[in-house]
Copies of this chain bind each other. A is one copy, B any other.
Amino acid sequence: MDYVGRLTAHLPMAIRLIMVKADGSVSVHADGGAYKPLNWMTPPCTVRESVGEWRVEHGKTGDALVITIEEILADRSYELGLDPGLQKDGVEAHLQALLAERVEVLGAGWSLVRREYPTAIGPVDLLVRDDAGGSVAVEIKRRGEIDGVEQLTRYLELLNRDPRIAPVRGIFAAQQIKPQARVLAVDRGIECVRLDYDQLRGLDDPTTRLF
């Protein structure tokens, strides 16, 4: 198999599993590497089959996957029908929505200014007002790592240039905060808050919630 596109790749002849889905995607799997195929083509793409060769092409990008077939050991096709989607729970968007509804867990008398408060380099998760009327930017993560602290630092730098809301201090809120991230945050005067998802959900009022 040969792939030419964002990179060039070659896969020697061996026994492989080729999966073709209804969405048009083609994946070539080996018996390892967990769920990831060795090579693939995402839709929209076209498959042209000739004797001993499949040519899979992505029209727009020009990516091409050429599969040379020496022998077909099995060729099966199944109708899977409609797919009721996967329901996920506990991702970051949930945390943000839950915390936005219950900003008082950050401090008594605090209120939400807005979610996704825009800055020149992207939106801050939450902008809130503390009980003394001061501005607080909140960055929410499931896993709090150094990247998140850097991100909040950049936001704070920009927000503090805006005289309408400056001074703005920061809160780094996460379900789990890595020690190094906590050290960096504290060093920069950023407060760390651990979020308890189940507790937030318990506080949540089902009649007003978004999910």
Residues of A in contact with B (beta carbons under 8 Å apart): 6-17, 19, 21-23, 25, 27, 29-40, 42-43, 73-74, 76, 78-84, 86-91, 120-122, 146-147, 150, 154, 180, 183-184
Give the dominant DSSP class at A's interface.
Answer: loop
Cβ-defined partner of A14 (8 Å) among B30, B83, B91:
B83
A22 touches B11 (CB 8 A): no
For A36, list chain B residues within 8 Å (CB): 35
For A82, list chain B residues within 8 Å (CB): 14
Cβ-defined partner of A73 (8 Å) among B9, B78, B184:
B78
A9 touches B122 (CB 8 A): no
**A80 closest partner in B (C-beta):** B31
A83 touches B31 (CB 8 A): yes
With A87-B9, A184-B121 known as contacts, the answer to whether A32 contacts B38 (CB < 8 A) is: no
Least distance between A163 CB and chain B CB atoms (Å): 20
For A81, list chain B residues within 8 Å (CB): 14-15, 31
A74 to B76, CA, bound (A): 10
